[in-house]
């Protein structure tokens, strides 16, 4: 911790191994001012927007909703509520294709805007410092704010860690080619972002805020520099342009000179990171009482006539965005959600903008040639040279193809951040990340299966133990009952001569009773042998029965069953 402080205070920028310099191509989209687009005919809001559990729907088909009104209820703290991006009617709650490489359908709320764009009642909170941190976290949670830079992890959850924070890092690196949503936001909304940073610093109690921007965004740097000038505890750190400097682990390494230990969170080193877009969303949520209902999306690629950045209401279908920007599809067109390095192709464009959508890229074949045929790996090591995690991608690839999962884990597959640098430089054009993702999900599946099997085994063993215990108890009961009868007999035998002398008529009855008891005893011995062999399914826990008649009945039942089974076996 002390080392980290020393490094940060010195103002140095460390470096991380590997990395690549793909063509940046941020222009021309980055030079156009942010535009607003008209509401689409329908807004599709998938219940699941990001990592975590989807919330429970609180509206019904046909309901009228106001702008900013919550549509789902986050049952668990892992989830986030979803809000109506504008006023309108809930047209349907149904399965719609998802913003995912598969395009598979998932449950979504579909809203037809009514054109009035009428807000629900709002309670702006200009002076957030009057509220305590827990209240602010609740506000951020209720506003549905998720990390807008990457996987969309719920922001309130990330902030709620009860650990001391030395440095709050605000990530404005935006290292992936083409994407310039954060760049534009920083140029045009620097003051709002800084307010968001203040709120985040207040909540986390960070000693210092570090704002990191890549040196290929001079306008954003200038604009942010001015906006932070009045705060002594915010420092601007300009990092050299290299992909993937904006990865959480890489940026922490750049700014602190230290790596986040494997399988730990940055908070363990006293560091927490938020994206500039998230800082902006936090400001809007807290100060303006505006939930996360829109975000900046970069529309770019050579197959678009008017590239630029737009404020896209969540739920806006991708085809509406493309129409707005003038889409001229070519043969074999690829529509990429996200950037060229980590984005995924969409099979159809009827899918919506979600909280994590930062870019829609429609490249021409010339600017981003589609992959050629995959050739064999020649172990050239170009991938290892660029891996920011210092992995051996070629080795992982061999192991992934061989499905050698233990060896993959041994080779630290799970430290791969899937940045795609390896595949970008692979001369054999092997889709390396693809293999890793597949292997990762296989390993996770296996682990799940194993956990399930382990649980089943535990259940089975517990049941076996219970049955065994019950059998023991039953035998013990039988033994005690037999002893008790023996004693009784002996006592009767002692009493008998007296009785005989007293009453001759009675003695014959006693003799008969003794005979009966003997017969029962004999029968019981046979019966207990039978019950010993009896299947566990036939034995059920029963209340203790001391009465010999009941015992006899039980024996008879057991015998019958045994016979029946024997017969079955014979058959």
Tokens of 20: 């690549």
Cis peptide before 28 (omega within 30 of 0): yes
End-to-end CA distance of the chain: 77
Three-state DSSP state, 239: strand
Dihedral over Cα of 127, 132, 133, 138: its sign: negative
- Name the nearest CA neighbour of 546 among 498, 493, 495, 476: 476
Tokens of 308: 């630029």
CB-based contact 20:387 (threshold 8 Å) = no
Q: How far apart are CA 311 and CA 298, in angstroms?
A: 9
Which of 305/569 has CB closer to another protein?
Answer: 305
Which of 22/70 has CB closer to another protein?
Answer: 22
Which of 285/426 has CB closer to another protein?
Answer: 426
Shortest separation between residue 81's beta carbon and another protein, angstroms: 30
Which of 412/539 has CB closer to another protein?
Answer: 412
Shortest separation between residue 309's beta carbon and another protein, angstroms: 20
Which of 21/64 has CB closer to another protein?
Answer: 21
Which of 345/503 has CB closer to another protein?
Answer: 345
β-pairing, 88-97 vs 105-113, is antiparallel
CB-based contact 499:506 (threshold 8 Å) = yes
- Name the nearest CA neighbour of 253 among 388, 112, 98, 449: 388
Which of 285/342 has CB closer to another protein?
Answer: 342
Shortest separation between residue 334's beta carbon and another protein, angstroms: 5
Beta-carbon contacts of residue 318 (< 8 Å; ≥ 6 apart): 99, 335, 337, 346, 349, 350, 351, 352, 353, 360
Shortest separation between residue 150's beta carbon and another protein, angstroms: 14
- Name the nearest CA neighbour of 351 among 545, 110, 163: 110
Dihedral over Cα of 216, 222, 227, 231: its sign: positive
Shortest separation between residue 70's beta carbon and another protein, angstroms: 34
Q: How far apart are CA 348 and CA 488, in angstroms?
A: 87
Shortest separation between residue 236's beta carbon and another protein, angstroms: 17
Shortest separation between residue 427's beta carbon and another protein, angstroms: 4
Which of 69/256 has CB closer to another protein?
Answer: 256
Shortest separation between residue 46's beta carbon and another protein, angstroms: 20
β-pairing, 105-113 vs 43-46, is antiparallel
Which of 106/385 has CB closer to another protein?
Answer: 385
493 CB-contact burial (10 Å; exposed 0-12 / middle 13-18 / buried 19+): exposed
Q: How far apart are CA 124 and CA 287, in angstroms?
A: 5
Q: Which residue has the tokens 């950045």?
A: 309
Shortest separation between residue 389's beta carbon and another protein, angstroms: 4
């Amino acid at each position: 911790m002390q080392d980290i402080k020393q490094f940060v205070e010195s103002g140095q920028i460390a470096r991380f191994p590997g990395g690549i310099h793909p063509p940046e191509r941020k222009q021309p989209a980055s030079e156009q001012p942010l535009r607003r687009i008209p509401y689409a005919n329908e807004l599709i809001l998938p219940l699941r927007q990001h990592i975590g559990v989807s919330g429970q729907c609180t509206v019904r088909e046909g309901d009228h909703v106001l702008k900013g009104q919550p549509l789902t209820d986050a049952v668990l703290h892992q989830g986030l509520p979803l809000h109506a991006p504008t006023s309108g009617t809930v047209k349907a709650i149904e399965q719609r294709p998802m913003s995912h490489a598969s395009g598979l359908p998932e449950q979504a709320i579909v809203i037809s805007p009514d054109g009035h764009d009428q807000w629900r009642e709002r309670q702006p909170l200009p002076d957030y410092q009057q509220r305590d941190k827990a209240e602010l976290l609740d506000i951020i949670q209720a506003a549905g704010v998720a990390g807008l830079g990457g996987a969309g992890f719920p922001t309130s959850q990330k902030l709620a860690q009860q650990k001391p924070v030395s440095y709050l890092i605000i990530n404005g690196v935006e290292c992936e080619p083409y994407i310039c949503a954060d760049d534009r936001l920083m140029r045009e909304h620097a003051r709002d972002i800084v307010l968001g940073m203040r709120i985040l610093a207040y909540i986390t109690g960070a000693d210092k805020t570090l704002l990191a921007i890549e040196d290929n965004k001079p306008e954003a740097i200038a604009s942010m520099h001015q906006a932070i000038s009045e705060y002594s505890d915010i420092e601007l750190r300009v990092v050299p342009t290299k992909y993937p400097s904006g990865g959480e682990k890489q940026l922490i390494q750049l700014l602190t000179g230290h790596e986040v230990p494997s399988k730990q969170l940055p908070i363990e080193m006293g560091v927490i990171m938020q994206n500039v877009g998230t800082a902006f969303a936090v400001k809007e949520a807290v100060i303006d009482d505006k939930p996360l209902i829109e975000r900046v999306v970069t529309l770019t690629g050579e197959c678009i006539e008017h590239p630029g950045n737009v404020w896209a209401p969540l739920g806006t279908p991708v085809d509406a965005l493309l129409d707005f920007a003038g889409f001229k599809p070519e043969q074999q067109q690829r529509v990429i959600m996200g950037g060229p390095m980590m984005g995924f192709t969409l099979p159809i464009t009827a899918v919506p903008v979600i909280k994590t959508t930062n870019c829609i890229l429609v490249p021409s074949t010339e600017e981003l040639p589609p992959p050629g045929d995959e050739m064999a790996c020649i172990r050239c090591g170009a991938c290892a040279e660029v891996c920011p995690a210092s992995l051996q991608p070629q080795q992982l690839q061999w192991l992934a193809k061989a499905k050698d999962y233990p060896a993959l884990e041994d080779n630290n597959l799970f430290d791969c951040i899937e940045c795609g640098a390896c595949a970008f430089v692979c001369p054999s054009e092997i889709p390396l990340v693809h293999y890793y993702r597949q292997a990762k999900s296989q390993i996770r599946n296996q682990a799940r299966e194993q956990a399930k099997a382990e649980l089943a085994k535990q259940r089975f063993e517990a049941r076996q133990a219970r049955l065994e215990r019950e059998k023991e108890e039953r035998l013990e009961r039988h033994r005690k009952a037999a002893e008790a009868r023996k004693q009784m007999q002996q006592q009767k035998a002692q009493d008998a001569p007296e009785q005989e002398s007293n009453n001759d008529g009675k003695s014959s009855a006693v003799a008969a009773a003794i005979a009966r008891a003997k017969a029962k005893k004999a029968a019981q011995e046979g019966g207990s042998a039978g019950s010993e062999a009896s299947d566990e399914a036939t034995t059920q826990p029963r209340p203790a029965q001391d009465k010999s008649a009941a015992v006899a009945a039980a024996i008879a039942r057991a015998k019958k069953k045994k016979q029946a089974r024997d017969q079955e076996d014979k058959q």
